[in-house]
Structure 1
């Protein structure tokens, strides 16, 4: 029987992949959560952070055809769209005015109709209207796709985006790094190794990023553990990661669900173990997020007692996860209340985790 002391001591000695997988499989979920919570408090205290942000998808047209995605539409589909740069910028300005957002989270699909000039205009339009808003933009996978489409290098794409106003990169497209899993869930996207390589280039250029892990589909425990170790190794190499975000897969409306490869969402115990093992592997290298939009507001409270210490953001206007069945929304006040309910301290942060404002109960 693995007790809390053994798990904590093992983590502080730096786990290897096999020991991490053994702890994941054999430890009681409550014992594992307790150990992860202890380590979180030791390294970060009781503060739980999040950013006030808005999501804008510049387009839903995508040729990647990922079986995990319910959001995309193929070229020529009547529901496909591309937002005009000024339209997107006006939407962000409205959310700044009405909700005080400080970050724009902007992604889209692999749209073969878009040009380099489109993104120049998009980012510059936002900066003209709301210069103080941080643009956390397209994923590593999008950068790779557009580099190939425009017959240039990833470095050139990222440099051009940075010059136009991109401040950081969102963590999407990481999925699970294991190639045998990626062949099933994202067969036409870049490999896990390519994702890491592009992240290294972005970090070299001074563009920090988040990193996600999509779980609850066809992966095994060893895939989860390996993914988190690769995140740790990337952070040790570049220091350019801002936040690790485990994202629970919502299968409904996706091709994986229609094929019967994933029949339901992962059980809550699995969510808790995912969060806890992330803390045990990452220790103080990164904050671990409890992504309320993918797990729901009830379960997210539990994850804050199992190693998580960030709620990602308010995520106003998010549509990708909602396309797959997520139905949640949240305000600053609601997220702060969730944090207080578990005896922790809510704090509003900036994108880069440099500035925090403690949110006192009114």
Structure 2
């Protein structure tokens, strides 16, 4: 029977994909969690971080029609919207004044009516209203869509957005990199390989990014392991990935759920295994998130004992996961309580993982 110390030793030597798949399949949740926690403590200590941020979706119009998404609206829908740049800027300024946020997380969908000038005005308006706020977003998938729409290269889109005020790229849209999975969950989005290549272009331009992984739908253990290894390889190549965020799929209100492809949320045991194997593969390359918004605040505490050491952010105003049944936002004090509950030391950070204050 595997012991946690055996798993730690194997992880520190360096797991292969085959090793990691075997652990996912054969090791029990408690063994993996204990081993991953030991590795996290070795490299990161007991500090758990998060950013104080606001989420704004510039538009809910999207023609990708992903069956995993409950947020999007097609063009012409009565509740479709596009936010004016000055509206977004005002919301950010208010969040700074009232809540002390340091980051704007902004994304939307594939809106065929938006122009390059819209994003120029959007990012510059935010910077004018709140010069110290870091703008993070949109996703790699949005970069590709708008590049094609505007007949530009990925580099041209990213460079233009950076000039207008973009500081970092959201890690969304990664889903699971394996193509057989993407064909089911996001058939009209970029491939996993393209996601990685766009990230490399962004990193070359000095625009760092997060990296996500959406799990708990139709993937298998081998797909999870492969995804994490590819994120690790990206980080070893560029050094510009800021955080790895495993995102639990919330099926409520999505097409996959309505069609019966996914029967319900993945069990908590699987959440623990996904986070633990992430730490055991990534080691000290990246922080691993306990994304409370997708797993709930109680389980997030548990994941901090299974290899996770970041709570992502306060996520004021988040709407995408909320539309699929996820919880709402959290205050810095609430996130600090999640960390303290399991004996961790909470700290507010900025987007680039510099500590602002311990709470």
Q: TM-score range by the shorter chain?
A: over 0.9
Aligned to 1:354: 354
Residues 316-327 of structure 1 mapped to structure 2, 5 A cutoff: 316-327=316-327
2:182 matched to which residue of 1? 182
CA distance in 2, matches of 1:204, 1:354: 21
> What per-residue deviation string (whole Å, max 9, x for no partner) do you get for residues 8-64 of structure 1?
011001100010010111111111100000000000000000000000000000000
2:241 equivalent to 1:241: yes
Which residue does 2:341 correspond to in 1? 341
Please say if residues 317 and 328 of structure 2, whose CA atoms lie closer than 8 Å, have aligned partners that are also in contact.
no
Q: Distance in 2 between matches of 1:228 and 1:293?
A: 20
Residue 196 in structure 1 maps to residue 191 in structure 2 = no
Structure 2 residue 60 is the aligned partner of structure 1 residue 60: yes
Counterpart-to-counterpart distance in 1, 2:328 and 2:49:
19
TM-score, scaled to structure 2: 0.99
Instruction: Tell me what 2:299 maps to.
Output: 299
- Superposition map of 1:1-362 within 5 A: 1-359=1-359
Cα deviation for residue 277 of structure 1 reads: 0.1
Q: TM-score, normalised by structure 1?
A: 0.99
> What is the CA distance between 1:327 and its match in structure 2?
2.5
Computed over aligned residues only, the root mean square deviation of the Cα atoms, in angstroms, reads: 0.6
For structure 1, which runs of at least 5 residues remain unmatched after alignment?
A: none
Q: Secondary structure at the match of 1:101?
A: coil
* Cα separation, 2, equivalents of 1:275 and 1:16: 17
Q: Is the 8 A contact 2:318 2:328 kept in 1?
A: no
Q: How far apart are 1:357 and its partner, in Å?
A: 1.5
Question: Do the aligned partners of 1:2 and 1:23 also contact (CA within 8 Å) in 2?
Answer: no
**Cα deviation digits, residues 286-338 of structure 1 (max 9, x gap):** 00000000000110110000000000000000000000111333101101011
User: Cα offset for 1:141?
Assistant: 0.4
CA distance in 1, matches of 2:32, 2:285: 19
- Partners of 1:64 and 1:333 in 2: CA distance: 37
Is contact 2:54–2:316 with CA below 8 Å preserved after alignment? yes
Which segments of structure 1 move beyond 6 Å, counting only runs of 4 or more?
A: none
Q: Which deviates further from its counterpart, 176-185 or 3-12?
A: 3-12
Q: Following the alignment from structure 2 to structure 1, what is the Cα–Cα distance between the partners of residues 201 and 260?
A: 38
Task: Give 3-state SS (helix, strand or coil) of 2:151's partner.
Answer: coil
* 1:125-168 superposed Cα distances (whole Å, 9 cap, x missing partner): 00001000000010000000000000010000000000000000
How many residue pairs get aligned? The number is 359
CA distance in 2, matches of 1:153, 1:206: 17
Rounded Cα–Cα distance in structure 1 between residues aligned with 2:79 and 2:328 = 23
1:140·1:173 contact (CA, 8 Å) conserved in 2? yes
Give the Å deviation of 1:358.
Answer: 1.1
> What SS does structure 2 have at the residue aligned with 1:159?
helix
Give the Cα–Cα distance (whole angstroms) in 1 for the partners of residues 103 and 271 of structure 2.
Answer: 27
Q: Distance in 2 between matches of 1:277 and 1:177?
A: 17
Q: Contact 2:54–2:318 at 8 Å: present in 1 too?
A: yes
Q: Matches of 1:84 and 1:275 in 2, distance apart?
A: 38
* 1:74 CA displacement: 0.3
Shift of 1:5: 1.4
Q: Shift of residue 345 of structure 1?
A: 0.1
